C-alpha cells in the first residue's frame, strides 16, 4: 500500500513536543551535574548579539501581560525572561522538526533514526558554540568540565533527532495515500492521530517530571546556601543601590 509522507506541520509538532521534553531533561541535569542549560544559554547569547531594544521590548510586552494577570512586577520580569528563553528554544525545535521531516521525505531509503541523530549532532554545534561565546575562558562552568559538557549536549541533541526520526517513521507507516474522493478516516489515519496523542502525553509527563525535579533541586540548593555560613575571613559585599535589581536569566 502506498503511503502519504507526514507533512511539515506534523514535524513541527513533533519537534516542539520533543524539544519541551529535552529542555525538561536538561534542567535537572544542569542542577545535578552542571551540564549547560541550552535554552538559557541561547537566550543570553541573543541578548548580547541583538540590539538591546529588541529583547527589551519583548520582555516589556510579556511583563505587561503577566502584570495584568496580577503577578508581581519583579516576578513578572523574571518570568518573562524565562518564558522568552523557553519559547525561543521550543520554536527552534519546531522549525528543526519540520525541516527534518522534509529531509526525511527526500531520504526515503535511509534509516530515519540515524538521519535524525546526525541532524541532532549538527544542531548541537550552535548550542556548544553559544556556551563558548558567553565566556571563552570558561565556556561551561561546573563540575563536569568543558569536554563532558559539550559531549552531554551532543548526546542530548542526537537523542532528540533520533526520536524525531523514529516519530517520522511511525507516522509514515500509519498514513495512507489520499483517495480520489473524500472518505471517512481510515484505520491508518486514526492510528496516526492516536500516535500523536500518545506522544504528546508521554512528552508532557516527562516535561512535568523533569521540571518538577529541577525546581526541587533549585530549592534545595537555595536552602543549602542559606543554611551554610561563609568560611571565616570571607569578605562580605557591602550593600549597594543596585541590590534588588533583576538578575538576568542564567
- How does residue 157 score in pLDDT terms, banded at 50, 70 and 90? very high
DSSP 248: P
- How does residue 83 score in pLDDT terms, banded at 50, 70 and 90? confident
Q: What percent of the chain has pLDDT over 70?
A: 70
C-alpha cell at 72: 508581581
- Assess whether pLDDT exceeds 60 at residue 141: no
Q: pTM of the prediction? A: 0.72
Cα diameter, the chain: 82
Q: DSSP 3-state assignment of 3? A: strand
Q: Is the pLDDT higher at 12 or at 136?
A: 12
For residues 57-75, average pLDDT: 73
- Assess whether pLDDT exceeds 70 at residue 211: yes
C-alpha cell at 112: 530515519
Residue 230 has what pLDDT? 43
Residue 214 has what pLDDT? 74
Residue 205 has what pLDDT? 86
What is the H or E stretch that residue 192 is in? Answer: helix 187-227
- What pLDDT, in 10s, does the model give residues 11-62? 999 999 999 999 999 888 888 877 788 888 888 888 887 776 777 777 777 7
- How does residue 101 score in pLDDT terms, banded at 50, 70 and 90? very high
C-alpha cell at 150: 559539550
First-to-last alpha carbon distance for the chain, in angstroms, is 51
Q: Are 185 and 141 in contact (CB under 8 A)?
A: no
Q: 42-51, 92-101, 173-182, 202-211: lowest mean pLDDT where?
A: 173-182
Q: CA dist 55 to 11, 66, 245, Å?
A: 28, 16, 17
Helix-helix angle 146-174:8-33, to 10 degrees: 150
- Assess whether pLDDT exceeds 90 at residue 99: yes
C-alpha cell at 175: 498514513
Q: Quote the Cα angle for 26-28-29, to 5°.
A: 60
Amino acid at each position: 500500500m502506498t503511503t502519504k509522507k507526514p507533512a511539515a506541520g506534523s514535524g513541527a509538532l513533533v519537534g516542539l513536543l520533543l524539544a519541551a521534553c529535552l529542555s525538561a531533561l536538561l534542567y535537572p541535569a544542569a542542577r545535578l551535574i552542571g551540564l549547560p542549560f541550552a535554552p538559557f544559554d541561547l537566550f543570553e547569547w541573543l541578548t548580547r548579539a541583538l540590539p538591546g531594544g529588541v529583547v527589551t521590548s519583548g520582555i516589556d510586552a510579556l511583563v505587561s501581560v503577566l502584570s495584568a494577570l496580577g503577578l508581581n512586577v519583579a516576578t513578572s520580569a523574571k518570568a518573562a525572561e524565562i518564558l522568552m528563553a523557553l519559547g525561543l528554544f521550543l520554536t527552534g525545535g519546531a522549525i528543526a522538526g519540520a525541516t527534518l521531516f522534509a529531509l526525511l521525505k527526500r531520504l526515503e531509503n535511509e534509516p530515519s533514526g540515524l538521519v535524525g541523530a546526525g541532524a541532532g549532532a549538527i544542531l548541537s554545534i550552535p548550542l556548544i558554540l553559544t556556551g563558548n561565546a558567553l565566556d571563552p575562558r570558561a565556556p561551561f562552568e561546573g563540575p563536569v568540565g568543558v569536554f563532558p559538557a559539550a559531549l552531554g549536549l551532543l548526546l542530548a541533541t542526537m537523542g532528540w533527532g533520533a526520536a524525531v526520526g523514529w516519530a517520522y517513521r511511525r507516522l509514515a507507516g500509519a498514513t495512507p495515500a489520499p483517495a480520489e474522493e473524500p472518505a471517512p478516516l481510515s484505520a491508518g489515519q486514526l492510528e496516526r492521530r492516536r500516535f500523536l496523542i500518545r506522544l504528546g502525553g508521554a512528552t508532557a509527563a516527562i516535561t512535568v517530571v523533569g521540571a518538577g525535579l529541577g525546581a526541587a533541586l533549585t530549592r534545595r540548593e537555595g536552602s543549602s546556601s542559606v543554611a551554610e555560613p561563609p568560611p571565616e575571613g570571607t569578605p562580605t559585599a557591602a550593600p549597594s543601590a543596585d541590590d534588588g535589581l533583576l538578575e538576568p536569566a542564567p
